Structure 1
Amino acid sequence: MATLWIVLCLTLLSPFVVASEYAGSESCQQCHQQAYQDWSTSHHQAAMLKATDESVQGDFNNTSFTYGKITSTFYRKGKEFWVKTDNALGQLEDFKISYTFGVFPLQQYIVDFDDGRKQVLSIIWDSRPASQGGQRWYHLYPEHESLSHGLPAQSAVDFNDPFHWTGTQFNWNTRCASCHSTGLVNKFDVKTNTFNTTWNEINVSCESCHGAGKDHIAWAHSDSQVSPQHFGFKHTISNPALWQYPNTHHRIKYRSSSNNPHQVDVCAHCHSRRQELSQWEPDRSFAEQHIPRLIEAELYYPDGQMLDEVYVYGSFMQSKMHANGVVCSDCHNPHSLALKKPGNQVCSQCHNPDVFDTVAHHHHTNDKASQCVNCHMTETTYMGVDARRDHSFRVPDPLLSHQVGSPDACTSCHTEQTPAWATKKIQAWVADLQKPPQKPEFATTFMAADQGINKDKALLNIANDGGYSAIVRASAALRLSPVQVDNDQQSIADLLNDESWMIRLGTVRSSMQLPVLQRWQLLSAHLDEPVRAVRYEIARALAGLPLYQLTKAQSDQVQMLYKEFITDSEFNSGMPDMQVILGVFSLNQQDTHSAETYFRQALTIAPDYQDALLNLADLYRATGRDDKAGDLLKLAVKEHPNAVDPHYALALWYIRQKSLPDAQVELQKAYEIQPGFRPTTLALALVMEQLNQREKAYKLVSSWLTTYGSDPQLEQLRQRLGD
């Protein structure tokens, strides 16, 4: 292991951009006055600033705010800003505010700790005007459903909760820093559990997107008559629009070519839900530095609309806009971040207003209802007050939205009406169109697959359908059960050869359900995969491979993938989830000692981290220490009472302890949290059967089958219970 780490450090660490290569945003002002002026009043400029009279928006004039059992006080000491609030032990303590974090429609505040951690307060200043309900303190986790963007109301978060402001979820170093500062180097010491994070500029400056500018500045001040490539930068994100009308009707114009698709990659670094693999360098591609999350149940609705805070990229990648070459700067001023034109005019850059900005198209007469975005970009409010629009630019489908539980543009305004009413209206409007808008048919398939229902045939059709976007196809591939694809491994192999790295990524992830030797059969031809994000997943998929069965050349290739995987995972070593990923990787390699070390390190960083508790408990089970697993699982249930997995895992532990009544209690709780999850329903019914509650089990299984459709194993169980 020592040799491995030496090789790792010498050969695989990403080449950090040294601070001396940065010029600083002030150096841009002389030549780029308008761009600098736009940026200087933007949210990027105010992404993070030292706490001063100029930057602080909140009321620190001895203002009190009560949340749960804690009353916090915001006050000043001379020019400094302070808060008295609950610490990690639940006791009131005075903390100095070091930095502001964001500016509008909300502003958060950062506190420095001696171990290098910077923690973000979960009490936030609403910086909207008072007329809009702003100019007040509020808590990020409200006790009122109206502020929870459609999720169930939550009880107050206290110091025992994983989401307390002193915990890892509110740690700036690992959760926020790379997107709110420029030239960030996030140094974490695993041995001491401390940070020494540095940056070149405190906020999102010019060089966050354009890259280090020292060479550009040197060229600009030289007498050279020859312009170097990209004027001294390593790349360019300029993407001038080259448009054409495809037909004589001039209904919509399309980009005839995209000079530089790299612009979207640069924006995606921050405006996406992803795992980082290395220090951010804007000249390198997105997939060489990140692994994006696909359309997954906890993040997106089944039809691809944003559910959790996923930061736009994933929805934009689904859109026809992206497919036709539209990039971020076509709609947004990249320096001020404002829309390039007001209202529907931003859409009219491409969509002929004589056709689309008319009552004949949108069928509404008042200004608000006739705004394109209100029909085609549903809005979700995050963090209490921050309304963000979905960027998949979809056609409203009220019945589908009702079926899969996603936002519906029609009935969100016409609250007194039904989805059937809205659908009838839309069908009447489009009856005269030669080609009605395509609907995202994948939604019901994704929903069923997420409930544990086998939909592999339909998923394969979606994954192979070039009419869908790459992220939709990749998300279909992700849901495949390779063991059950009619034993047709060729279908999986074909997807692994797709030209889209995103589809290959989803397919590699789905292969992890196979035994490792079958994974090898599929993945052995892809050890030279060119995209880093996909290589990362291949390495994880092959972690349990018996290398002694390979040729030396194959073994060497696989071990290089392993080394790169460890490097990329260790980049985020301050995050408990990455420690768990490394632990599972070690466990798959039969290295239980390293696995236990990683899981314990995760719990050192975050003592209540769910995945670490569950994985360490399972490691105890696998190594003959199941008696120690129970306490970990009970702690996981205590800390995460509304999560399915802890209840389910504790129920299985009770079953192993032959305590079926206790197992039934936990399975019932898991079922109530997620009624459609098939494994919970099956386990609960089997436990009921063992406890001679056959009629109750029969009703449970019948209800599931009626609600969620056919399932062979549950059908067989119902038949047995009915005999």
Structure 2
Amino acid sequence: MEGDEATGIQSRLESQAIGPVGKNDRNSAPLEPEVTLTTSQLRPVADLQAGFVASETCLQCHAEEHQSWDASFHRTMTQIIREETAPESIVNKQVVVNGKRYAFERHEDAFFVTYADPFRGGMVLRRELLMMTGSHHMHVFWHASDHLGTPAQLDIVYLIEEERWIPRDSSFLQPPDHHAGLELGTWNRTCSRCHSTHPRERSNEQTLEWDTRVAEFGIACEACHGEGKGHVLRHSNREDEDSEESLTTEAVTDLVVNPAKLSKRRSADVCGQCHSVFLPDYDVVSLQEYEQTGNPFRPGDRLDEIGFSRVVRATDEHRDSETFQRWSEMEDVGGAFWSDGMPRIAGREYNGLIESACFQQGEMTCLSCHQMHPPEVPGTDRETQLASWRNDQLGQGMAGDDACLQCHAEMGEQIEMHTHHAVDSHGSRCMNCHMPHTTYGLLKTIRSHQISSPSIEQSRVSDRANACSLCHLDRGFHWVANHLHDWYGQPLPDREAPGNEVDLSTSALHLLSGDAAQRAVQVAAMGWAPAQEASGTEWMEPYLLLALNDPYDAIRIVAEKSLRTLPNRVSKPMDAMAPAGQRMHAFNAAIEAIDKSLQMEPKPEVLVDEEGRFDFLRAREFLERRNHQPIHLRE
């Protein structure tokens, strides 16, 4: 039991779903006998085993590294809710989400929520908030349930930048008729694997309770460096009689590694243990053994040699592999990869890295650009430096072209010749062409970590927008193809639809007729400043208004954010989470206002007609062809 819990923080009758709050609820169950439980009995427990010593031990010798880790979002992937970690959003606040009321309160040193608990048939109960995951873009909260050690997920999440609550289901890109269902045990079974250090799930099928143990909540030092007991003993000044004998045993072998000093594959595999699409192989380690002892992978190992975490590779040459076939059978249609095998979901950067020529034929690895422990920059306030670094954990200069020029130095003097764009323009930034924003997650897009180049042939057969189309949102496939042909000699395709005289822009086509993943990428692109500069913005508003009536909640939320970035916006603010009737009424009013006041340059590629009006009748024709394939992006 953890030290601060050993004092016996007592859980009260009204706090732990023992009975209802309110005396006149006709559906109330009789009050059950009062029980006294410590908070640590209600949630998973931090328990050091198998040579783990915890990050506080590392602080003694590695103060600077500990400081940067402490500032990182890795550390806060899972946090125990207490006074120093609880965000303002849960301190004595009341909110209503989709007509459902949530009352948050602090009582002494504990935090609670009172709401209609779906785990108890909608009874209004007061639950103690135990943990939260996230902290970078959103907070996900976990409260006490009726099962020991098994926190339940609160059914709303808090968007940090937006400062608003939304339903949990709305935070994922998933079909409107899909509901994740009850989340009892999900942290133990799923989230713990990448949101804590050395988890042992330890389920009990008979009682539906879990006895999950972790070395630490969040991603701590030993998740990336290996367990530290032997390292501490070998580098300490212990002079007790048992130390020499203990140092000769296998149990205290120094297992700590520095990922920066490993081979490129072993270094990348440290990140890949979490940042990948993989399947556990219970033929290598049985489910029972895995639940008791955890993942056998340790930093310094090779994922493919351990064999337990079988990385899914979805490019053409791997489609016949047993792992891909197993994954395909288990996954819903429309999962983690675009049709060409490139990852399209955030948090799976390892899958993209290992398919990149820079990795396969060069020495690129995660730490080529990312830096886990940045050194102090002279003349810069350390806290300010770490606050900036923690967003993407990039090394100094690695947010720009230097990330690529460190290996491709010869391009430095011929960037404009290579890109055919002005040297100081967004079109000459390496990552805009070779790492476009085709990866979706957490209500935004991020750069692809599979290094690629725009390709006519790949764009012709893939459902993924290429880099040119994500900057030039107002241009179609054949416009892009002509430039790639003229500049780089790529063979031109035949025009496949001779009856269609308009080269409709990829953005318009995906937004109107594409599937949900394509639409999500495009609505995010319309809020990206380089794309707005290259494409103009007047024509975007009708598309984003259409997206605000998309059946996928997540797409509407992203569209609302992009709309706020448009200069000279005509329409009034519209709430993405408002009821459909309200949104449609606001949409009709906005379209009427646009039709009356907005006069644009004719641009058939985005359905702006010769009179400078958006052609809604033509847009409807494309909407009727929409791809309604269900898309589930599991983040």
Tell me the TM-score range normalised by the shorter chain. 0.5 to 0.7
- Structure 1 distance, partners of 2:257, 2:73, is 22
SS of 1:302's equivalent?
Answer: coil
Aligned match for 2:255, one of 234, 237, 241:
234
**What residue is the counterpart of 1:137 in the other structure?**
165
Matched, 1:110 2:148: no
TM superposition shift of 1:205: 0.9
Aligned CA distance change for structure 1 residues 148 and 52 (closer, same or farther; 3 Å):
closer
Structure-to-structure mapping, 1:500-515, within 5 angstroms: none
TM superposition shift of 1:30: 2.9
Matched, 1:410 2:427: no
- Structure 2 distance, partners of 1:111, 1:402, is 48
TM superposition shift of 1:361: 2.5
- Structure 2 distance, partners of 1:93, 1:275, is 38
AA of the residue aligned to 2:394: L
- Structure 1 distance, partners of 2:172, 2:229, is 45
- Structure 1 distance, partners of 2:446, 2:454, is 17
TM superposition shift of 1:312: 1.4
Matched, 1:172 2:191: no
**What residue is the counterpart of 2:598 in the other structure?**
none
- Structure 1 distance, partners of 2:84, 2:410, is 42
Aligned CA distance change for structure 1 residues 381 and 674 (closer, same or farther; 3 Å):
closer
Matched, 1:35 2:65: yes
For structure 2, the residue ranges without an aligned partner over 5 or more in a row are: 1-46, 282-289, 315-327, 329-333, 374-389, 494-625, 631-635
TM superposition shift of 1:56: 3.0
Matched, 1:97 2:101: no
Aligned match for 1:328, one of 354, 366, 376:
366
TM superposition shift of 1:176: 0.7
**What residue is the counterpart of 1:119 in the other structure?**
152
- Structure 1 distance, partners of 2:190, 2:79, is 17
Q: Quick check: 2:438–2:464 contact (8 Å CA) kept in 1? A: no
Q: Quick check: 2:115–2:124 contact (8 Å CA) kept in 1? A: yes
Q: Quick check: 1:45–1:203 contact (8 Å CA) kept in 2? A: yes
**What residue is the counterpart of 1:216 in the other structure?**
231
Aligned CA distance change for structure 1 residues 201 and 317 (closer, same or farther; 3 Å):
same
**What residue is the counterpart of 2:9 in the other structure?**
none
- Structure 2 distance, partners of 1:57, 1:362, is 46
- Structure 2 distance, partners of 1:407, 1:211, is 40
- Structure 2 distance, partners of 1:362, 1:63, is 52
AA of the residue aligned to 1:340: G
Aligned CA distance change for structure 1 residues 310 and 29 (closer, same or farther; 3 Å):
closer
- Structure 2 distance, partners of 1:28, 1:672, is 52
* 1:305-357 Cα deviation digits (max 9, x unpaired): 22345621222121112202322111111346611133222222212165377
* 1:608-659 Cα deviation digits (max 9, x unpaired): xxxxxxxxxxxxxxxxxxxxxxxxxxxxxxxxxxxxxxxxxxxxxxxxxxxx
TM superposition shift of 1:420: 1.2
Q: Quick check: 2:144–2:151 contact (8 Å CA) kept in 1? A: yes
AA of the residue aligned to 2:364: V
TM superposition shift of 1:672: 8.8
**What residue is the counterpart of 1:205 in the other structure?**
220
- Structure 1 distance, partners of 2:113, 2:465, is 38
SS of 2:459's equivalent?
Answer: helix
Greater fraction helix: 1
**What residue is the counterpart of 1:428 in the other structure?**
486
Aligned match for 2:82, one of 52, 56, 60:
52
Q: Quick check: 1:61–1:74 contact (8 Å CA) kept in 2? A: yes
Matched, 1:290 2:309: yes
Structure-to-structure mapping, 1:128-527, within 5 angstroms: 128=161, 134-142=162-170, 154=176, 161=179, 163-164=180-181, 166-167=182-183, 171-222=186-237, 232-234=253-255, 236-240=257-261, 259=263, 261-277=265-281, 278=290, 279-280=294-295, 281-283=297-299, 284-287=301-304, 288=306, 289-295=308-314, 298-309=335-346, 311-323=348-360, 324-335=362-373, 338-342=393-397, 343-352=400-409, 354-355=411-412, 358-365=415-422, 368-380=426-438, 382-397=440-455, 400-401=458-459, 403-431=461-489
TM-score when scaled to structure 2? Answer: 0.54
TM-score when scaled to structure 1? Answer: 0.48
SS of 2:128's equivalent?
Answer: strand
* 1:263-318 Cα deviation digits (max 9, x unpaired): 22221111112233432241543232312223256321111222345621222121
AA of the residue aligned to 1:312: E
For structure 1, the residue ranges without an aligned partner over 5 or more in a row are: 1-16, 129-133, 241-257, 440-670, 676-723
- Structure 1 distance, partners of 2:459, 2:264, is 35
SS of 1:347's equivalent?
Answer: helix
Q: Quick check: 1:182–1:208 contact (8 Å CA) kept in 2? A: yes
TM superposition shift of 1:98: 0.9
- Structure 2 distance, partners of 1:196, 1:290, is 23
- Structure 2 distance, partners of 1:197, 1:422, is 53
AA of the residue aligned to 2:51: E
* 1:517-557 Cα deviation digits (max 9, x unpaired): xxxxxxxxxxxxxxxxxxxxxxxxxxxxxxxxxxxxxxxxx
TM superposition shift of 1:395: 0.7
- Structure 2 distance, partners of 1:21, 1:220, is 15
SS of 1:27's equivalent?
Answer: helix
Aligned CA distance change for structure 1 residues 190 and 66 (closer, same or farther; 3 Å):
same
Aligned CA distance change for structure 1 residues 213 and 67 (closer, same or farther; 3 Å):
same
Aligned CA distance change for structure 1 residues 77 and 286 (closer, same or farther; 3 Å):
same
Give RMSD over aligned pairs.
Answer: 3.6
Q: Quick check: 1:58–1:125 contact (8 Å CA) kept in 2? A: no
SS of 1:21's equivalent?
Answer: coil
AA of the residue aligned to 1:301: W
TM superposition shift of 1:122: 4.4
Q: Quick check: 2:344–2:440 contact (8 Å CA) kept in 1? A: no
Structure-to-structure mapping, 1:553-568, within 5 angstroms: none
- Structure 1 distance, partners of 2:225, 2:56, is 14
* 1:459-504 Cα deviation digits (max 9, x unpaired): xxxxxxxxxxxxxxxxxxxxxxxxxxxxxxxxxxxxxxxxxxxxxx
Q: Quick check: 1:306–1:315 contact (8 Å CA) kept in 2? A: yes
- Structure 2 distance, partners of 1:236, 1:210, is 5
Aligned CA distance change for structure 1 residues 148 and 180 (closer, same or farther; 3 Å):
closer
Aligned CA distance change for structure 1 residues 373 and 73 (closer, same or farther; 3 Å):
farther
AA of the residue aligned to 2:365: V
SS of 1:234's equivalent?
Answer: coil
AA of the residue aligned to 1:417: R
Q: Quick check: 1:339–1:346 contact (8 Å CA) kept in 2? A: no
**What residue is the counterpart of 1:518 in the other structure?**
none
Aligned CA distance change for structure 1 residues 48 and 298 (closer, same or farther; 3 Å):
closer
**What residue is the counterpart of 1:448 in the other structure?**
none
**What residue is the counterpart of 2:572 in the other structure?**
none
Q: Quick check: 1:398–1:411 contact (8 Å CA) kept in 2? A: no
TM superposition shift of 1:95: 2.4
